[in-house]
Structure 1
Amino acid sequence: MTTATTDERALAELQREHGPALFHFLLGLTFGDRQRAEDLLQETLVRAWQHPEAFDAPYESMRPWLFTVARRLAIDARRSRQARPTEVSDAVLESAPARDDTAAAAVHSLDVREAVRTLSPEHRAVLVQIYFRGLSVGETAQVLGIPPGTVKSRSYYALRLLSRTLPGYSSRSSTSTSASRDTASTTST
């Protein structure tokens, strides 16, 4: 029983003497991750406890042996983290945006497609080029062979018709668009 208390005393002395320097060394190896550095420090001290022959080493101090063990443990821990997928914490999951219901998105997509089909071929062609293919007004005008002003007016009236056709749009949006058109016609005359 005296060897167990001697081992505990030696380990406590080892931690007092080399713990702060070893922790600082491990903090650098873990890029400032205090928790990981503390875990590695504890693991290094456990290794020292498991290998009592290290206490009898010819070194003046245990420090070189401890630093070598700590460095190897840090390397092994890093390799094992890289070999497995990244852990996702609860904080990351809580901050992630909630995904919309895919069924609702599919229904909405079908509604939009059906509403676009009700448009005239000219209006539909403009919307397809601008909103589905991502072309600018000028590019759409070149592709369709019409003036840019015609592209703008067709897209305006097509969107206005869609806002009336699609569910979830209020009549307020159509009144505000007609009010803005009335304002534009009075300023142009």
Structure 2
Amino acid sequence: MNWTVMGSSGAVSARERVMRALDDEQASPLYNYVVRLLGGDLHRAEDVVQETLLRCWRTQDVGGSEPLRGWLFRVARNMVVDRILSSMILKDAMQGLSPKHREVLYETYYSWQVDARGGPRARRPAGHRQVAPAPCSAGAAHGPAEPAW
């Protein structure tokens, strides 16, 4: 893959060359390892590998003499474990909610079905026309009131 740094004429620093070499050498085996850990989920595996390489670039001395393969595989494994555990915790938490609360959370966080205020978008029956909102009174012109909880 030919990389070009934005705003440059193709000049690459030594750190970038080392990261490219690391990516060329380790990305494919790391990806295959993560795919196995995730049971074949290719898209999540790509995300984990990208995040792992980004963390390496941000935190590790890539020009040093210490090999990074073990570090990369450990970080990727830890990310997979964290994602699996957080998913399990979320499922447990969702089971304790009422069906209506689960629906609101699902619509908000998974379907991205939110209205302009950030709340879940109301479902309208087929053929229902949306009525234009009534004009606001002077007191309500500054947005919704604070919740009374």
Could you state the TM-score of these two structures normalised by the residue count of structure 1? 0.40
- Looking at structure 1, the residues matched to 84 and 76 of structure 2 have their Cα atoms a distance apart, in angstroms, of 12
Asked if residue 26 in structure 1 is aligned to residue 34 in structure 2, the reply is yes
Higher helix share: 1
Asked if residue 69 in structure 1 is aligned to residue 75 in structure 2, the reply is yes
Equivalent position to 1:9, from 17, 39, 42:
17
Runs (5+) with no aligned partner, structure 1: 91-189
Q: Which has the larger radius of gyration?
A: 1
- Looking at structure 1, the residues matched to 72 and 35 of structure 2 have their Cα atoms a distance apart, in angstroms, of 15
2:88 is aligned to 82
1:37 is aligned to 45
Could you state the TM-score of these two structures normalised by the residue count of structure 2? 0.50
Asked if residue 52 in structure 1 is aligned to residue 70 in structure 2, the reply is no
- Looking at structure 1, the residues matched to 52 and 17 of structure 2 have their Cα atoms a distance apart, in angstroms, of 16
Deviations 1:59-111 (A, max 9, x none): xx321111111111111111122222476866xxxxxxxxxxxxxxxxxxxxx
The answer to which structure, 1 or 2, has the higher relative contact order (CA under 8 A, 6+ apart) is: 2
Q: Is the contact made by 2:19 and 2:57 (CA closer than 8 Å) also made in structure 1?
A: yes
Q: Is the contact made by 2:19 and 2:62 (CA closer than 8 Å) also made in structure 1?
A: no
Runs of 4+ deviating beyond 4 Å: 86-90
User: What SS does the aligned partner of 1:56 have?
Assistant: coil
CA RMSD of aligned residues (A): 2.7
Change in Cα spacing, 1:57 to 1:70, as seen in structure 2 (3 Å) is farther
